Structure formats: C-alpha cells, structure tokens
Amino acid sequence: MLRAICFGLLLAGNVGHSTDHHYRLSLNQSLDYISVEAHLGDAVSSLTARNGDTDLLDSLTDCNGERLNARRGRIRIDAEQRCVRYNYPLRQSSRRVSQGSSQRLLFADGVVVTSPSEWLWIPTLEGEDQVLIEVDGPENLRFSVPWRVLDNGVFALGPSPQSSRSNVIFGHFRERMLRLPGTELRVALLDVSENRLSEDKILSWLDAAARDVAGVSGKFPNPNPQIIVMATGPGRRGGGGSAVPFGHVIRDGGEAVRFFVNGDKPLDDYLGDWTATHEFAHLLLPYIESKQKWISEGFASYYQNVLLARRGVYSEEEAWRRLHRSFSRAREIKNPPSPNNTAGRSFWEVRMLVYWSGAAVALLADAELREVSGGKESLDTVLGRLRSCCLPSPRQWRGRDFFAKLDELSTYKVFNRLYEEHADSRGMPDLTELFHKLGIKPAGEKVQLLENAPLAHIRRNIMKKTRSN
C-alpha cells in the first residue's frame, strides 16, 4: 500500500512563484530504486544533477514513453516535452555518501542515506523558481529532507548556496519534532547496530543549543531546518572522546545541520559541549563564500562561548579565558596571512586564524555597538534584524556585502570600518586596548576580570542572559 498525496491537486495549484516544477518521488519496500516523475512548469532544454551520473539512469523517458537522451551529466529535453520519468539506484548513491564522509556510516537495516545531488535532475533555478516535491512510498516509510515544508506534505526546493551535498534519509528510523517559538526542528535519529541513541538525551541537548541561538535574535534563524543526528559506534572515530566529535551545516536546497555523536556519553557531557551551539550559530548568518569562511566561522566561534556563558555552562571568567586563549593561539601563527588570504594557505596551518580572527571582529563590533548606543544596540540586535529581513538566504554572500548589510541594519555604522581595517590586514586584530577597557587582564592563558574598568559593565552584559528563551 502506498502513501499518496494527491498529485493532481499539486499540479493544479500554483503558489505564485516565477516557475514551479512539480516532482513526485516514489520508493518501493526494499528502497533499492527511486522513481522520479517531473512535470516541468516551463520549457527547459535540460535537467542536471550536480553530482549525478547519467550512466546510472534507468528507464529515462518522457511521459509518453519516448526515450530521452542523457550524456555529460545532462538530460536533454525538447521544448515541447514537459514531463520526464526515470529510475535511479538508491543503494549505489547511499554507498557514495558513506565513502565520501569522514565517518563510517553504519546504520540499522532498512535505512538509506543518500544525496539528491546525485539523483534529482532539475532545471536551473533562478529568482523565485522552485521545485515542489511529494514523496510516495510504503505506508511505514519515513523520510527526512532538507527542503522547506509546505502544506499537505509537499516540500519546496529553491535556489540555494549549495555549500555541500544535502542528505535525504529514507527508511525505518526515528524522526521527532523539536518545537521552539516560531520554529520546528525536524530531527532524524540514526542509530548504529551497537548503539541506540537516547531520544530524551539527544532532544534535551538540541533544545538547549537551539534556545541558546534563538536568544540572540529572538527566534531561531530558520523556521524548519533538517537536523540529522548520526551515532558513532564503539571503536569508531569519536567513540571514546567527546560527546559530539563532529558537526557541520549544509545549505543545499534548504538548511540542515548534521551531527555525529557518541551515544554512550551522559547528558551532562552533551550539555557542556559547544558543537551544537557553534553549528546552530552559523545559521545566524547567510552563507559567506568559502574563501572568506573566517567570517562565518569567527562569528560562530564567538557566539559558542558567549551563549554557553549566558546559559550558565561557563562562568563569565571561563568564557573570557577561552576567548583569550584562542585569540592568543591564533596570534602564534608564523608569517600569518590576512583573514581574506587564509584560503591561499593550508587550512590546518592557519585554522586558528580562520576561526578566531572573525571572532575578534565580532567582539570588537559587539563592544563598540553597546558602548556608543548606551546598551540599546548590540551584535545581537543587528543579527535579529538580519534574520527578519534576509534569512534563510538562497545565495552566497561576499564578506564585504555582508558587512555592508549589517551597517545598513544598524543605527551605528561600525561594520564596514571593521572590515576595511582587518579583512586584508595580516594576522589577528589587536585586542589590547579593548581588553584594557573591558577589564580583562591576561595572565598567561588565564584572565583576571577587573571590576573598576571603564567598560566592565559591557563585558558583563555580553555574557549575561538578556532574553527569555
């Protein structure tokens, strides 16, 4: 028995975007193949899948049964052909995802993790174009997708930065909704045979980290992101180390965050880990082009410390100690490039500069905004305005454009100047004067907090919980 959403109604409706293309994905019980039927909303000359292999396409025809030509990564279409059908071997795609990962993806039977960049052939999307997608399959089939959720189980895929390969998961796994004000996180829990994840533990951890980030701008920056939590088994990477050895954000057809976790660790280890707060903090910003990742990594690194202090995981002194220690280590890089030139060097050689030069700029902006506004404006409030106007964003941003937008949204214009001062200057921004004003006195890798400093109140307020989560 198939679960079917009325495809006729989907085709009949149009939600008012430039061009809507309607796709139906069908799966059988064994999840060996996925069948795709595409009804194109406008004449197109070809369909592409970013990482697709046309040699793996099976039964490629139009909806009248006429075979179509596929080569060099493209399905060629005549102008009058508006309907395309094909099959694709899911298991082969799933193996490719596993082999391309830094973790060994070994899950319980009946779960396929795959990337639509291999099997979803779509037209080029521009402006407000979108692909509307429904999924048919066995009654007990679950699926986790990164695409935006519409009514009646229909999903929308639009233009996106394509920062990495998104994941779609089919099969028998647990999916839960984690609700925050204005947001639903769609959480997929993927066990390994030796390790069944504790639902209560994982959801408590994700809820705390999501509320950390929601407190910055008043709401979580994406109303419906896909969250994937993958267990690592004993003896595999991360099995004996931290609770969350790895996480990353994927912006491909939608926004998703994927975590690898050690399910054996207690809840306190999860709640004290900064990884989820860091990754969720990435969503406070649009995708900044990869050669300027010092901006996105820097802002997320700044907030991972600030937000864990606001939650009470770190004391104020511990948060400033961690920031000072990281800034100091970044300054130890020999012959450092400018932040904008870090992409030209080995990442492992300059990684501390990638993560902490942007964090220093975020701190400089936050402190100055709080000082000149008398506490009425901060980095939090400006990022809140960014969320309201521009997130989630369907495109890649240049660093200069991002800082210009922040100035546009701020009463006090500090961002462009900070970009001009530091983006192309070698090494770390100098924080000596700011630390003195804030009352942060370094002592090796430790710090002493001075309460009589002129901006001690700003130092305290940065780490103080100011919003109700």
Model confidence pLDDT, tens digit, residues 338-368:
999 999 999 999 999 999 999 999 999 999 9
User: Are domains 173-283 and 284-462 of this chain identical in fold?
Assistant: yes
CATH architecture for the domain at 1-103+113-160: Sandwich (2.60)
d(CA 281, CA 71): 41
Determine the Cα angle at 391 with ends 389 and 393, to 5°: 115
CA distances to 14, 124, 156, 182 from 129, in Å? 12, 9, 10, 25
Model confidence pLDDT, tens digit, residues 19-78:
999 999 999 888 989 999 999 998 899 999 999 999 999 999 999 999 999 988 899 998
Q: Which of 27, 15, 251 is nearest to 131 (CA)?
A: 15
Model confidence pLDDT, tens digit, residues 287-300:
999 999 999 999 99
Q: What stretches in the chain show pLDDT beneath 50?
A: 1-6, 8-10, 12-17, 96-106, 235-239, 468-469
Determine the Cα angle at 64 with ends 60 and 65, to 5°: 40
**Residue 190 backbone zone (phi > 0: left; psi -120 to 50: alpha; other: beta):** beta
> What CATH number was assigned to the domain covering residues 284-462?
1.10.390.10
d(CA 317, CA 323): 10
pTM of the predicted protein model = 0.92
The residue assigned the tokens 């139906």 is: 24
For the chain, what is the total number of helices (H) and then of strands (E)?
14, 21
Determine the Cα angle at 371 with ends 426 and 463, to 5°: 80
Residue 251: per-residue pLDDT: 97
State the DSSP code for 150: -
> Is omega for the bond preceding 392 within 30 degrees of 0, making it cis?
yes
Structure tokens at 27: 């799966």
Q: Which of 44, 33, 136 is nearest to 90 (CA)?
A: 33
Residue 71: per-residue pLDDT: 87
Residue 233: per-residue pLDDT: 58
d(CA 322, CA 330): 12
d(CA 400, CA 170): 40
Kindly list the domain boundaries of the chain, sorted by start residue.
Answer: 1-103+113-160, 173-283, 284-462
d(CA 367, CA 452): 17
Q: Which of 325, 360, 363, 329 is nearest to 455 (CA)?
A: 363
d(CA 20, CA 17): 7
Residue 274: per-residue pLDDT: 98
Q: Which residues pair with 318 in a beta bridge?
A: none
The residue assigned the tokens 């969503």 is: 283
Contact 201, 271 (CB under 8 A): no
Contact 147, 164 (CB under 8 A): no
d(CA 414, CA 378): 11
| 44 Cβ neighbours under 8 A, 6+ residues apart | 77, 123, 124
Residue 108: per-residue pLDDT: 56
Helix (H) or strand (E) holding 34: strand 33-39
Residue 80: per-residue pLDDT: 83
What phi, psi does 164 have (nearest 5°)?
A: -165, -175
Let me know if domain 173-283 sits in CATH 1.10.390.10.
Answer: yes
Structure tokens at 446: 């430790």
